[in-house]
Chains A and B, each alone.
Chain A
């Protein structure tokens, strides 16, 4: 292993990255683009749900009930319609996601100490959002009921309102949100997206970088020279790992500054762990580049083996514990979940070496295996 030859390969590669406009964009622009797009786009908060009301009662009670919805930040009143049939096209056209039908004599029944029934039509197109909508609906409804109960107790049992309130809620639930007290989904998403971007971008760059030489034929310079395969692989990958390390910083800045995610952990630890992760994912690119011989195939294969696992099986959307056994196995097999643990641990939980050494070791293990296989599978005297 000679440092001079590694440096020669690395310098050449670096120059090419800088001068090829498209590749330069791929290296620096695309990671940022993915981060911004997904950071803004992949918001799973459910709020401002548009809804419409059919109020057959038109009483003070019904208006008050509707008011509870329109006042909350979760719902957004589109308007009143006259008949239930008018809700159908609105739902079908996605203009509203919820329709409330308040029956005749709604206020009258409540006043007369009798239960009243409202009907809620929920758009079930997006199951997750429908479920959340249901949750909000129930919460608002429960709140309304509690107040009705307090009134009723005060009226029928002759309690003071204070006493009645206490009676109605014997157990309160005190929530303590840990790690992300403000429940800013951007905080979690932005930091989690670092995992995604660093899973996709380094393999892309590496695979394209190597396959490009194979496709053009300039790889023969390497085959025909005395550069050892180790020197070539190292020299070739150093610039890509370097670019990705730079991207770690950029993405970190975007996450903390633009999306306002707090960083509570040890920056040095996080940086080192990130570099290990980048080396590991670059190794995936190296393997891809050895398997395929055209740039198109490299792009497609990288896409398939990095993007989907990182998106679905990393724990970004669903915690690994909640997954089906099959999915859990996939999650254990791919590196992203380990890095996500490190990211969220560092950003939100304020953890460091003592708690997160294990995932770092696992990633380092992956890196070692991937690079060794890449090294062994790369031949300077191929069959074709």
Chain B
């Protein structure tokens, strides 16, 4: 037993030493845990900003101008008036405008007369998400405008308004009240990076031993395959946890002001569990690759479906039924649930126990499989 610990200890120390002596790897680690997360976190925001709007105002009245005025930044960017419908189509074709609003002649007169009228909005829906979002906002502006006109015309006062049946939906957005995109993006990128490195690092360490022939030396020693492989996983887990700490304390908290609602130690514990699980997959990759080039190719092939099934892009509820069931086998799915749950939602073990168990079972299965494959090669 003492011998067992001694062996594990010297092997882990060896892996850490090797890691610390590999400048290229250290630079890659540093890049992914800082710059990469920063770029992803600050890069883009998925909500509608400055949707370019051109207007074909055929009425040119007080009423039409008031409506146009309501299309304001940050959601809309008013680009000016158009002279013809053709021009509008050209702008949409070219992609210089995303929306073209057309106000019909006699717009004001119809409104005054209490006649129903319609404005037309042409939307570029090549980007469907933003197209629908923009339409939604526009519809709300127009509805609001109409409502104001009606109440105005009917002469409803504020007092009377309080005596009208109305449902006021007060919204409270939890966990990220101001919907700060970098919170989401940076955490999601951190998890992707952790996934990629957990696949890559142990696989690379194992394949490097194959490439250099040191694996044979270990194979003739009294070490068991588990004792050869597991220290790699421990060492890489430690390195990844250190990187995660760097990312959290250098980027996520100070730069993006991500709140920490839950327990940090629970987050690290879950991360460690996750890294262990995924590195089993990495060892499997290592067992079927001959060199580092192949490892990196296979990592990409494995990483892609994992990202798909993770729920980072598409929430499980929006997935086709088949894929939704498949998500259970993607460790990243469990990890994202747990990670966001702990960091943003402040969830504890009481709530997350099922995900932890799911991840543990999956991890044990994957890791066992990885070691088995490797053992068959060098047993």
Q: Are chains A and B touching in the complex at the 8 Å CB cutoff? A: yes
Binding site for B on A (CB under 8 A): 22, 25-26, 30, 33-34, 37-38, 40-50, 65, 76, 89, 91-94, 97, 109-132, 134-135, 137-139, 141-142, 144-145, 148-149, 151-153, 157, 166-181, 183-185, 187-188, 208, 212, 215, 294-300, 303-304, 308, 312-313, 315-319, 321-323, 327, 341, 344-345, 348-349, 351, 355
Contacts of B20 in A (CB 8 A): none
Interchain nearest-CB distance for A383 vs B (Å): 20
* Bound complex: CA A145 to CA B161 (Å): 12
| Contact among A45, A170, A173, A208 with B318 in the assembled complex (CB-CB below 8 Å) | A45
* Bound complex: CA A168 to CA B127 (Å): 32
Residue in chain B with minimal CB distance to A318: B44
* Bound complex: CA A148 to CA B323 (Å): 41
The answer to whether A41 touches B164 (Cβ under 8 A) is no
The answer to whether B142 touches A122 (Cβ under 8 A) is no
B114 sits at the interface (CB 8 A): yes
- Which residues of chain B from 176 to 228 have a CB within 8 Å of any chain A CB? 176-177, 179-181, 183-184, 204
25 inter-chain pairs at a CB distance below 8 angstroms, sorted by A residue, are: A25-B301, A26-B297, A41-B307, A41-B313, A44-B129, A48-B318, A92-B346, A93-B341, A115-B165, A117-B167, A118-B167, A125-B340, A128-B181, A135-B140, A151-B165, A171-B146, A172-B146, A173-B138, A177-B125, A187-B128, A208-B293, A294-B292, A313-B44, A321-B98, A355-B94
Residue in chain B with minimal CB distance to A33: B304
* Bound complex: CA A300 to CA B201 (Å): 13
Q: A94-B341, A123-B174, A318-B45 are in contact. List 12 more A-B contacts (CB 8 A).
A: A22-B297, A45-B129, A117-B168, A124-B177, A127-B180, A139-B136, A148-B166, A173-B143, A296-B292, A296-B295, A313-B43, A344-B95
Residue in chain B with minimal CB distance to A120: B171
Contacts of A120 in B (CB 8 A): 169-172
Convert B125-145 into 0s and 1s, putting 1 for each residue whose CB lies closer than 8 angstroms to a CB of A: 111111111011111101101
The answer to whether B170 touches A188 (Cβ under 8 A) is no
Would A171 and B165 be within 8 Å (CB), given that A125-B176, A125-B345 are in contact? no
The answer to whether A188 touches B125 (Cβ under 8 A) is yes
Would A116 and B167 be within 8 Å (CB), given that A295-B292, A317-B44, A327-B44 are in contact? yes
Binding site for A on B (CB under 8 A): 24, 28, 31, 36, 39-40, 43-52, 67, 77, 92-96, 98, 111, 114-133, 135-140, 142-143, 145-147, 149-150, 153-154, 162-177, 179-181, 183-184, 204, 291-297, 300-301, 304-305, 307-309, 313-315, 317-318, 320, 323, 337, 340-341, 344-347, 350-352, 354-355
Contacts of A114 in B (CB 8 A): 162-163, 165
* Bound complex: CA A321 to CA B77 (Å): 10
* Bound complex: CA A92 to CA B349 (Å): 11
Contacts of A318 in B (CB 8 A): 44-46, 49, 127, 130
Contacts of B164 in A (CB 8 A): 113, 115, 148-149, 152
The answer to whether B170 touches A119 (Cβ under 8 A) is yes
The answer to whether A148 touches B125 (Cβ under 8 A) is no
The answer to whether B124 touches A141 (Cβ under 8 A) is no
* Bound complex: CA A89 to CA B45 (Å): 28
Interchain nearest-CB distance for B26 vs A (Å): 14
Would A131 and B47 be within 8 Å (CB), given that A139-B139, A176-B120 are in contact? yes
* Bound complex: CA A299 to CA B346 (Å): 38
The answer to whether B143 touches A126 (Cβ under 8 A) is no
The answer to whether B341 touches A144 (Cβ under 8 A) is no
The answer to whether B317 touches A42 (Cβ under 8 A) is no
Residue in chain B with minimal CB distance to A171: B146
| Contact among A131, A132, A145, A312 with B40 in the assembled complex (CB-CB below 8 Å) | A312
Contacts of B204 in A (CB 8 A): 296
The answer to whether B116 touches A166 (Cβ under 8 A) is yes
Residue in chain B with minimal CB distance to A98: B171
Contacts of A126 in B (CB 8 A): 184, 315
* Bound complex: CA A321 to CA B73 (Å): 13
| Contact among B93, B149, B169, B293 with A295 in the assembled complex (CB-CB below 8 Å) | B293
The answer to whether A188 touches B128 (Cβ under 8 A) is yes
Contacts of B136 in A (CB 8 A): 135, 139
Would A170 and B167 be within 8 Å (CB), given that A22-B294, A130-B173 are in contact? no
The answer to whether B347 touches A115 (Cβ under 8 A) is no
* Bound complex: CA A174 to CA B341 (Å): 41
The answer to whether B317 touches A185 (Cβ under 8 A) is no
The answer to whether A118 touches B293 (Cβ under 8 A) is no
Residue in chain A with minimal CB distance to B337: A94
Contacts of A142 in B (CB 8 A): 140, 143
The answer to whether A296 touches B167 (Cβ under 8 A) is no
The answer to whether A321 touches B52 (Cβ under 8 A) is yes
Contacts of A169 in B (CB 8 A): 116, 143, 146
The answer to whether A37 touches B305 (Cβ under 8 A) is yes
The answer to whether A148 touches B167 (Cβ under 8 A) is yes
Interchain nearest-CB distance for A268 vs B (Å): 19
* Bound complex: CA A261 to CA B224 (Å): 54
The answer to whether B167 touches A144 (Cβ under 8 A) is yes
Residue in chain A with minimal CB distance to B344: A125
Residue of A135, A170, A208 most packed against chain B (CB within 10 A) = A170
Residue in chain B with minimal CB distance to A303: B300
Residue in chain A with minimal CB distance to B173: A124
The answer to whether B48 touches A322 (Cβ under 8 A) is yes
Contacts of A92 in B (CB 8 A): 341, 345-347, 351
Interchain nearest-CB distance for B66 vs A (Å): 11
| Contact among A44, A116, A295 with B296 in the assembled complex (CB-CB below 8 Å) | A295
